[in-house]
Every structure is written in C-alpha cells, then in structure tokens.
Chains A and B, each alone.
Chain A
Amino acid sequence: MPSRTGSHSPAGFGKSLPERGLLLLMVLVFLEGSVLPLGAASSPDTSHQTNLGDHQGTHTGPNSTKKPFPVLAVEYDRVQIPFEISLWVLLASLMKLGFHLIPRLSSIVPESCLLIVVGLLVGGLIKLAGEEVPPVLDSRLFFLCLLPPIILDAGYFLPIRPFMENLGTILMFAVVGTLWNAFFIGGVLYGVAQIQPANPSDLHQLELLPCLLFGSIISAVDPVAVLAVFEEIHINELLHILVFGESLLNDAVTVVLYHLFEEYAGVGTVTLLDGVLGVISFFVVALGGVLVGAIYGILAAFTSRFTSHTRVIEPLFVFVYSYMAYLSAEIFHLSGIMALIACGAVMRPYVEANISHKSHTTIKYFLKMWSSVSETLIFIFLGVATVDGPHAWNWTFVTVTVILCLVARVIGVVGLTYVINKFRIVKLTTKDQFIIAYGGLRGAIAFSLGFLLNQDHFPMRKMFLTAIITVIFFTVFVQGMTIKPLVELLAVKKKQEAKRSINEEIHTQFLDHLLTGIEDICGHYGHHHWKDKLNRFNKKYVKKCLIAGERSKEPQLIAFYHKMEMKQAIELVESGGGVKLPSAMPSTVSMQNIQPKKPPPAKPVERVLPQLPKGREEEIRKILRSNLQRTRQRLRSYNRHTLVADPYEDGFSDLLIKKQRMVELEKKIKEMSNYLTVPAAPPDSPTMCRARLASGRDTDFKPAQQQKGNKKCSDPQAYSMKPVSDSVPTIQVDLASPQSPDSVNLLDEFRHAGQQQPEVEDQGLMMKPPSGPSGPNKPREADEARDQQKLMRCLSDPGPSADEDEDEPFLP
C-alpha cells in the first residue's frame, strides 16, 4: 500500500500554487489532528498529577499557605474525547473540500481511494510519532454511529419505483448471490487450505467453519463503497438500483450467516437442523427488520401529522424514529440496515406531504451532510486501521481470496442472470452483467465484522483481517478506479440528468392506468393490477390516517404539479422575483402562445394609455419593484421556537397572488379590448374562434389576422411575460386606470401579508389605502408608493439598505 500512496500523492502535489498551499494546509491539519492528541495523551499525566497534588495539599493541610488562584489552567483530558472527535470530523470535511478543489484529481481517482490514502497517511504519521493508533474503526462506533446515517440517506431517498419494479432481481442477487458467494469462497478456501504443499504451513489448521465464516464476511457487497463509486459514474438507473439494492438487502443474509457460523465455529459441527434453523432465522431477521422499520416509519408519519405548529422539530422526528428503528432491530439481532431502509421508504411519502417545505430541505441537507461525513470518516478510518491493524500476511491465503472473490462474483452474476432473464421482461445484457459483477465492491462493513471476531475462537483472525483489507483495497482501488473508464468504453447507458417534466409525470400516470386497464381486459392479474389495488388502498385508508388535512386527498399528479409550481416559485424568488413564468424554461413562450385566443384588437390602444415620459415610468417601476420585493425580505423578530421567516413560503404565496393578478389582468385586457375595439363581435365569437383553433388548418383567414396582430403586438397592451420586459407588468394599467383593482391589489397584498404574521399586525395599522384621489395620476401614484414605503419601513428592519437609498430621491 505505501507504494500506492507514493504514486498518488505527487499527483496531488503537482498542481497549481494555491492548491498546493491548500494541500499543505491540510497536511498541517492532520499533523495537528494527530499530534495534538498525542501531546494530550502524554500531557494529561503530568497536569493531572499536579492537580492531584494540589488537591492533596489543600486537603491535608488546611492551614498551609494558600496558593494563588490559577488564572489559566490546562485541563485537556476533560474535553479530550469530543475534541478528538471534532478534529476527526474536521479533518474528514477538509479532505472532502480539498478534493473537490482539485479539479482533475477528482475526475480520475474516486474520492474513496483518496480518502483511504489520507487515512493511511494519518495512520502512518501517528505511528511515526511513536504513539498508539486509536482504534478508530471500532465495530461499535462503526455500526452505531457511522453506518446509520449513510443507510438512512440511502433508504429515505431510495427510488421506490425502480426498486420495486426490480425487486425480484435484486432479491435474487442479494440472497442467492450472496449465499453462493459465501459458500463458494468458503468451500474453495477450505479446499485450498487442505492441499498439502511440500512445506507445512499454518493454513492447515484452518477448519471448514471459520472458512465459511470468512466467506460470508467477504462475500457481501458493501453499500458504502458501492454508493461512493456509483455516485461518481452516473450509471443508468436500472444498473444502479440493481447493484445498490443488492448491497442493501444482502445485509440480512450476512447477519444470519455471520451469527450462524460464529455460533457453531466453537462447537465445530453443524447439523441439518441447524441449517433449517438458519433458514428460518434468515426470514425472521429479514422480515423482522422490515417490520420493525415499517412500524417506526408509520409512527414517524403519524407523528408528522401533528407537527404543523412546531415546525422546528419536524426534521428531528425523521432522524430519531429512524435511528430508533435501527437500534430496535439491532437489539434483536435483526437486520438493522433493512429496518432503516424500510423505515425511510415507508415514512417518506407521508412525511413529505405533512412537513413544511423548509423542513423537507432541512431533512435533505442533514441527511446528505451526515452521510457524506460518515462516508468520509469511514474511508479515512479504513486507512488508519490498515496501518494499525495486527497483520498476518499469508500470500497464498490473500491471493486465493482475491481471485476467488472475483471468480465467485462473475459466476454468480452470470449464472443468476441466466435464470433471472427468463423471467425479466427488460433483459439484462452482457454489458449489464459485467457492470453488476464489476460493481461488487467490498467495504468497511466486512472489515468491521472481521474486527468483531473473537481472537480466542478464531486464531486466524489476523490473517482474516489482512485478507479482508486486501480485498477491500483491491475492489475499491482497482475496480473503483477502472469502472469509470470501463463504463465509458462499453458505452453503458448513463443516467439522464434532466428533471422530471410535467408531461412525463402525466404520461407515467397515464401509462399506469393504461397498463392496468389492458391487464384487466386480458383478464390477467399481473403486477400492475396489484399495484393499482395497493394504490387504491393507500389512498383510501392509509393516507387519511397519516396525512393531515386536504393533502391526503390530493392525487399524485396534482401533488407533483404543486411541487413543481413551488419549485418554480422558489427559483423565481431566489432569482429576484421577476414575473417570468417557469424559469426552468428560458424561452419566450408564454401562456398566451398556447391559449386559444383571438388576435389583438385591430385598433391601436395607445389612446387608452396616458402618455408618460419614459424616464418617469422607469422610476415608478423601480419603486414598485423594490416594494414588491421587500415584502419577502422583511425580517421578523428572532424567536427560538419558530423559524425566523419563511421567505420561500411567503414568496410562494406572493407569487401565487401575482400570478392570480396576472390572470385577472389578462381577462380584463381581453374584456377591455373587446369592448373598446370590437363593437361587433362576430369574428371573435367563441364559436368561430374555436373552430379556427381546433382545426388549425384553415389558414386561409388566419394569417391575415395574425399579421394584423403582429403589427400591433409591440404595444404594452399585448401583455406578455417576456423576460426583457420589466418585472411589473401591471404598471401600465395602474396608470391608465387608477381605480383599477390592480392598484388596490398591491395594498391587498400587504394586508394579506400582515394577516399572515400576527406579531406585526399592530404595526400594520399604518396600512391604509391612499387618502382619496389627489389630483392627477402621477402624484397619486407617488403617494401610494410612499405609503407603501412607510409601510415597509415599519415592517422591515430599521437597518439602512441599498434599496432604501435608491428610493430616497422619490420621496417628497
């Protein structure tokens, strides 16, 4: 391994100056991280002793001279553990940060490899300093602290649809595949150990059961390693879910095999009865884990139904219930991983419907943060543990293990695919099989399980650990680094990055119903039929219990639509609140392009609009715009128990109001133009209109009208959401007709906002409609603007802001 580190680190150092500086900084950080604890490890003795001495001194002789009060005392050991934990986490995070600052490096070498190298370096430094390496990858720490966040993240964001669609294949790989791997590797290893070479080695002491135990430890594909590598190669959804799903679900098999063989390794024999019990135990462990997870998931969903008044702790429920599920499953030696997966997957749809958008974001970020820190720590610790670990290198054993792992995986995948393809409709191609076989990475779970072995029962523990580490390193380094080029070489289909569009959602739903319908017509009750039944049951009973309020009745499509609308609103708010529809679609197409509508009035509309100097218009626009934006930026007094402000949600309602207003406006313009310009309706009568649009081919008279329209379309009346136009499309009309509902709407909006926040309502008394018409339009408009500004003043923080300065000149 050291040679490998040597080959990698120059790649990292041969970078530009700032990057090199950063790396140096990082090295310093490790040094600090590793040396400080050492210093601490030695210093506590002295400081402690002196402290003790002090105490004794004061106690034995109350009359003795009083020591001066210690102004500065050093007491490191009091904080040692949390301090060191923080240091490790800091190191991990800085490392992660560092890798992403070096652009080329992260595209060549997967992060996991680099992190292991860092771990090796840190371990080496600690060792060089002559200190004992802390047992970082302790099994308790690993299974209770490091693993759950990663699995929860995976479970909560598990793509349910592809997972369920491929469940059979995944289970086949996870259960049968892992069993085959375990027995094949264990059996052949035992056989190899029994071969009598010329010189007797300690391999001969190896019995069958320890071999099988070793096989079951080494055969499980590791979710952490798979995630780390597969996230970087962006493989298509099917392959990703197959490999990843396998790595998650094989936990039950591993747990059972591990306990079974560990139990009987001491006894030495396994009877048939034990085998049968093992099979039963497998079902208990797997299904029990799922059941525990599902129960906690439902509990979490049910709890989230009532959190609408205490939004701050909403995310916590998700984490705590999941962790409880994991721990509860571990109490009974059930599969904790499966419990977590089930818990996350079960609670997600209901929790998401119940919690606020912000809480959802919080959950997402927390999960991602925890899981990525955990993952980083795991790989670093793997490196450190490698330096530390008691090794017993046995060439034969290690080589045979590595080769067997590869061979067993390939045979297993090819053999199982042969069977599975008979039942699958979307068959797995040879390429797919290759990637599945090649993606079978081993990782830290195997190491931790090996670490757990009892030295007394398994005298070969050291050799096992060494072999496990070698296999892990082999898979993570060799396979992990070559899989990306291979994927490109084989032109395996990649994941599409595009977001789901509303059309796709509509057609997904449509297809579901269509296929269910066709199945019903065929009289064949396939999985669409059952899925439909399940969906209906879910809608009818479960959702009602677990989701609060109206949203329980919301069909999926509408929920999707709302979510999309929300997302766009947020984008809009973040981008500064222009009234531009879907910013995801940078185009000039707007509602009016698709809406069956009549051509714009033939007569010019200029006469309706008062002539307004361009500059003046611009100013007013500015005032209005800044005020409109300010509604969202308003701050409320800080309160620990409520969120400071919900700019997104405010912004959302804001946007909805705006949108609504635009629709109204559009209607009004239509009416107005109708009234103003087309006294005789016939050409625009709805029936004519529809006939023309529905058939879309009678182009004989349309072009003429459209051309006419085109000529006139540049006037402001042709109200559109062109991105070039300014963000407040209502202004022209405001000026044109001061009594129009729009000018009132602005104030309505503030009133509305005021009602939303009762704590500012008393100040909101300032809100009142302009005190009667005062002469011509322009002063009135300014009046209104000032009024609103006053309002804004009392609502917003008193601090000076750039916008306010900008507004200053317009104040009377």
Chain B
Amino acid sequence: MRTNYRWISDVSSCCCLCFFSVSPEQIKNLHKRFQQLSDNEETISRENLEKIPALANNPIRKQIIDAFFDKRNQHQNEVGAFQEIGFEQFLMVMSHFRPPTLKTTEEEREAMRKEKLRFLFNMHDTDNDGTITLEEYRKVVEELLSKSGAIGLEAAKAIADAAMLEVASTNVPHMAPDDFYEGITFEHFEQILKGLEMESRMHIRFLDVDTMTMRCGKSKS
C-alpha cells in the first residue's frame, strides 16, 4: 500500500527524471532479455526461467523462480502465485535489487531495507502466514546446502535448528520451558539481519537505475 502511494506521488516528478537518466537503455536491455527469455511472447512462464542454463547450478533456483511468480512481490496486496508474468511484473521483482544512491535519504533507505527484507522473508515464508516456522527454515537451509550431497542434508537440520534457537533467544530472551516459539516474524527477521546492511548489499549492478525511473518504465509499459 505504501509503495503504491509513493508511486502515485512520484509520478509527477518521475517523467522529468527519465530524460537525464541512463535508465531507458537499461530498461530496454531488460526488455530485450525478457523477450529473449519468453521467446518473444508477452508473458514469461516458469518453464522459460527454468531453461536458463546458468541457473541450473544454483541451489536455490526453485525459490528464485518462485519469487518471480509470487504475487506478494508485486506490492498489490495480493496473495498467491501467477502462472505467467508480464514485463511489468518482471520489472517489479527486479526493482527489489536496486541499490541506494547518494541522494537516498535515511527514511528512504529504511524503506528500501524493509522492502528488500520483505522480499527475502516472502521467499522463506512459503505459506504466507507471517512467520517462518522451523519447518520452513529447515527447508531453506536444506535447499541452500542441496548441492553438497549427503553431508549437507544432515547438517542442514542442525544448522536450521541452531539458527532458529538463535533467533528465539535473541528476540525472546526469556521463555518458560514450555513456551513455544512459533516462528520468525518479520520484526524478528529484521532484528536478526540488522548487521547485514541489506539496503546496500542486496543489489545488482545491472539495475543501477533510479527508483523513480524504474516506475516510469512501469507507467509507460
């Protein structure tokens, strides 16, 4: 909702920014790539993404592809999954990977951090109940270690358990022996990843584009 609001408010100023920003080429590049992936179709499907050869070795390939088709990442307050996504949605997912600029104010940075963390959180929280349960977390770690064979699978459970324990004990330091920590909420998620400086770390060089222009591309398309 917030993003939508900002988007509307930015529309007035974004068009002028479009002119002296490099983004049109980048959006064009992305569009070219999009068409290449979709075989010149309007939309892209899972199979298209699964065919990318470089992704084959990625241990979290499935989650990455899922994220593209997750309606939660479109900021429309919708839940569920698309079967196919258009360029607009594709860009929207990509926009999570933009870096902060020198002009970004503190509040914007904070918002950006939240947005990026939310993206990660959604990747983990597969059933969209607002918490990452132990099951889900174990799954994440398992996927992460899925390329390392049997040792990985064995260790994954222990690691996820230790990580969960850590989250529980940093966020709820005192629990009676019988309390049950149901899972990582978004607030706790934010708390434990405070040290990672997500806003400046989760970015891709290719998308060195202003936030506004990114939305411009959207409004044009």
Contacts and interface: CB of A to CB of B under 8 A. Distances in A.
B40 interface: no
Interface stretch (B8-16, B59-67, B70-78, B210-218): B59-67
Interface string A505-525: 011111101111111111110
Contacts of B151: 550, 553-555, 558
B41 interface: no
B120 A507 contact: yes
Given A513-B58, A557-B159, A582-B165, A706 B208 contact: no
B163 A587 contact: no
A532 B176 CA distance: 44
A503 B140 CA distance: 12
A557 B163 CA distance: 12
Nearest to B119: A514
A72 B198 CA distance: 72
Contact of B58 (A425, A517, A718): A517
Interface in A703-760: 706, 709-710, 713, 718, 720, 722
A427 B195 contact: no
Interface stretch (A51-59, A290-298, A373-381, A591-599): A591-599
Interface stretch (A28-36, A262-270, A323-331, A691-699): A691-699
Nearest to B117: A507
B201 interface: yes
B92 interface: no
Interface string A644-678: 00000000000000000000000000000000000
A433 to B, nearest CB: 12
Interface string A566-599: 0000000000000001100111111111111101
By DSSP majority rule, is chain A's interface helix, strand, loop, or mixed?
Answer: helix
Given A555-B152, A696-B129, A522 B158 contact: no
A536 interface: yes
Nearest to A501: B166
Contacts of A713: 176-178
B133 A696 contact: yes
Given A600-B178, A713-B177, A517 B55 contact: yes
Contact of A522 (B57, B167, B206): B206
A741 B162 CA distance: 26
A25 interface: no
Contact of B134 (A536, A589, A594): A594
Contacts of B55: 517, 520-521
B54 interface: yes
Given A587-B174, A596-B134, A523 B33 contact: yes
A129 interface: no
B200 A561 contact: no
Residue among B129, B166, B170 facing the most chain A CB atoms (10 A cut-off): B166
A585 B164 CA distance: 13
Contact of B99 (A426, A693, A695, A697): A426
Contacts of B172: 587, 589
Interface string B170-207: 10111111111111000000001101100011111111
Nearest to B133: A694
Contact of B175 (A496, A513, A523, A589): A589
B140 A510 contact: yes
Contacts of A565: 162
A592 B152 CA distance: 23
B127 interface: yes
Contacts of A553: 148-149, 151
B175 A593 contact: yes
A696 B200 contact: no
Contacts of A502: 159, 162-163, 166
Contacts of A311: none
Contact of A524 (B149, B181, B204): B204
Interface residues of A, number: 74
By DSSP majority rule, is chain B's interface helix, strand, loop, or mixed?
Answer: helix
B135 interface: yes
A767 interface: no
B170 A585 contact: yes
B36 interface: yes
A696 B101 contact: no
A89 B206 CA distance: 54
B49 interface: yes
Nearest to A558: B155
Given A421-B102, A590-B177, A520 B182 contact: no
Nearest to A722: B177
B159 A561 contact: yes
Contacts of A595: 134, 161
Contact of A523 (B36, B101, B158, B159): B36
A557 B166 CA distance: 16
A504 B205 CA distance: 22
Contacts of A591: 161, 165
Contacts of B155: 557-558, 561
Contacts of B135: 596, 694
B145 interface: yes
Contact of A526 (B158, B169, B206): B206
B201 A511 contact: yes
A259 interface: no
Given A518-B94, A588-B174, A555 B202 contact: no
A513 to B, nearest CB: 5
Nearest to A509: B144
B166 A425 contact: no
A564 interface: yes
Contacts of B167: 503
Nearest to A709: B178
Residue among B162, B164, B207 facing the most chain A CB atoms (10 A cut-off): B162
B165 A517 contact: no
B102 A557 contact: no
A427 B101 CA distance: 7
A496 B123 CA distance: 27
A581 B151 CA distance: 23
Nearest to A597: B180
Given A510-B144, A585-B170, A515 B181 contact: no
Shortest Cβ-Cβ A-B pairs, 7 listed: A520-B54, A589-B169, A587-B169, A587-B173, A517-B64, A585-B169, A720-B177
18 contacts: A425-B200, A425-B203, A425-B205, A427-B101, A500-B195, A501-B166, A504-B193, A504-B195, A515-B203, A517-B61, A524-B33, A558-B159, A585-B166, A587-B173, A588-B174, A589-B174, A593-B179, A593-B181
Given A513-B60, A582-B169, 19 more contacts: A421-B102, A503-B166, A506-B159, A517-B60, A520-B54, A521-B55, A522-B206, A557-B141, A558-B151, A558-B155, A561-B155, A582-B165, A585-B173, A587-B172, A588-B176, A594-B165, A595-B134, A694-B127, A696-B183
Interface of B: 30, 33, 36-37, 49, 52, 54-55, 57-61, 63-64, 68, 94, 97, 99-102, 120, 123, 127, 129, 131, 133-135, 140-141, 144-145, 147-149, 151-152, 155, 158-159, 161-170, 172-183, 192-193, 195-196, 200-208
